[in-house]
Amino acid sequence: MGLDGTPALSRTYECDDRLKYACVGFIHHPIVGPGFIWNLYPAEQKPKQDEEKVELDHFKETVSRDIDGRYSVRLAWKGGVQKIPSDYKIAEQRLNSTTEKLRKAGEVTRYDGIFKAWLEEGITARVPTEIKEDCYFLPYRPVFKPQSITTSVRIVFDASCKVGRNPSLNDCLHKGVNYIELIPSVMMRFREGRIGVLSDIMKAFQMINVGKDDRRFLQLLWWSDDTCTEICVYQHQCSVWTLGL
């Protein structure tokens, strides 16, 4: 119950831009706190907390820092490195279908520029094309955003791709700790002050390297140039944020 006599969960507040938003009244409550809803289900929380502890322990044990100051992490495998069948044929089919879409949209050169930039920045590296087993190829698709000034087309990876009934790469990795439940309290604290300060780290996830032993599971196919005549194999040297690193 609020000071005005209205239920805490049903009150609305007026924003500076005159847009109304719903506010969870107990978000700053000293006893309830932001985790109240999740704590209503302790039986479901226990397995989640156990898994998150395993993930955090794995991170602490495997994280390292290179001589240039860049951090390196290992993939968060469930029960150690898994045996995943090679999906080269599927990745090759996706490459051809993606290339066809890009040609129709007139975006092949721009897409090729992304791969060239990754190579120059050390985000990816070329590897021998004859190595097609004991590794995983990330299929991907283009997402077009014509309204975007800086990124009209971007690459979206599909680590849920399976070979038959075998597990996908995502199936073999922990999901990672979920911090979404903390967002409401972060947003409320942000509104407490008169001045808000924002910052951003350019390509933040790509600033973190992946352990060398895990990079063979982060390979992808693309052409040698925008003529799309010779297939090359690229390997991620840095983290791919969609994989729960």
Q: Are residues 135 and 25 in the same domain?
A: no
Q: Are residues 14 and 55 in the same domain?
A: no
Q: Are residues 51 and 28 in the same domain?
A: no
Q: Are residues 53 and 139 in the same domain?
A: yes
Q: What is the pLDDT of residue 25?
A: 43
Distance CA 91, CA 97 (A): 10
pLDDT per position as a tens digit, 115-124: 999 999 999 9
Q: What is the pLDDT of residue 176?
A: 79
Over residues 29-34, mean pLDDT? 50
Q: Are residues 63 and 112 in the same domain?
A: yes
DSSP 70-138: -EEE---BSSSS------HHHHHHHHHHHHHHHHHHT-HHHHHHHHHHHHHHTSEEEE-TT--SSS-B-
Scanning the chain, the segments in alpha helix (DSSP H) are 36-39, 42-62, 88-105, 108-121, 183-190
What pTM did the predictor assign? Answer: 0.71
Number of structural domains, the chain?
Answer: 2
- CATH number for the domain harbouring residue 147: 3.10.10.10
Q: Are residues 138 and 24 in the same domain?
A: no
Q: Are residues 19 and 136 in the same domain?
A: no
Q: Are residues 52 and 153 in the same domain?
A: yes
Which residues are 73's β-sheet partners? 210
Q: Are residues 28 and 48 in the same domain?
A: no
Q: Are residues 67 and 163 in the same domain?
A: yes
Over residues 144-169, mean pLDDT? 86
Q: Are residues 148 and 222 in the same domain?
A: yes
Q: Are residues 184 and 205 in the same domain?
A: yes
Quote the percentage of the chain above a pLDDT of 90. 39
Nearest one of 237, 212, 236, 241 to 62, comparing CA atoms: 212
Distance CA 53, CA 60 (A): 11
Q: What is the pLDDT of residue 33?
A: 52
Confidence check: pLDDT of 13 > 50: no
Highest mean pLDDT among 88-102, 143-157, 204-218: 88-102
Confidence check: pLDDT of 36 > 60: no
Domain assignment of residue 88, given as a range: 41-243
Highest mean pLDDT among 44-53, 71-80, 140-149, 211-220: 211-220
Residue 159's Cβ-count burial label (10 Å; 0-12, 13-18, 19+) is buried
